[in-house]
Amino acid sequence: MSPFSRAYWFGTVDARLAAIFRIGLGLILFVDCLDLFGSREPFFASTGIFPDFGPMDHRWSIFQLGRSPAAVTAWFAFGSVSLLAFTLGLFTRVSTVLAWIFLASLRTQNPWVATGGDYVAQTLVIFSLFTDLGATWSLDAVRRKASRSTVPALGWRLMLVHVAILYFVTARLKVRHGWLIEGDGVYQALVI
């Protein structure tokens, strides 16, 4: 199917692709959350190594509602449950919003523990709102007692375009800064 056709953008795609994407992304984010859970107090609590830096102006985070060790543990429990529900496809749209709120709060509260991959995953969760990721292989499909074989294509295509643009811009910047010519890409990445 041509990417210049209307059906490519506004048609349908196989719901199993969306389900595999949801399960894969959800597992990665859930494992990352569990990994970060062990460092929750030093990185996110007010008693940790990153104290409050004053008002956050235009930024927001659920961690601003409470940064005691107990509150941070509760926020991580909230995040773990929302990511698990997203992975399993339970109330998929709601769990997607809750997962995004948790991920955005993590990155806003302490951007020093985030990588570019964290922001890409957060963006993919946002695009997931525009795709019916719970159409098949999900607890939502079990609850409905019906599984759909296709989902609207627009959200799926937007995710693909986002990733393609990201890699195009990254490759362009690497070429412009001489990573391929000088062969010191790893060195440049580590000294920045």
pLDDT tens for the chain, 192 residues: list them: 888 899 999 999 999 999 999 999 999 999 999 999 999 999 998 888 876 655 556 678 898 888 899 999 999 999 999 999 999 999 999 999 999 999 999 988 888 888 888 989 999 999 999 999 999 999 999 999 988 999 999 999 999 999 999 989 988 887 887 666 666 666 766 776
Q: What is the dihedral of CA 42, 43, 47, 52, to 10 degrees?
A: 160
Q: Which helix H or strand E contains 14, and what residues bound it?
A: strand 12-14
3-state secondary structure of 70: helix
pLDDT (tens digit per residue) in 41-85: 999 988 888 766 555 566 788 988 888 999 999 999 999 999 999
CA 50 from centroid of its chain's CA atoms: 23
Which residues contact residue 33 at a Cβ distance below 8 angstroms, ignoring those fewer than 6 apart?
76, 79, 80, 83, 102
Q: Which of 3, 31, 29, 30 is nearest to 124 (CA)?
A: 29
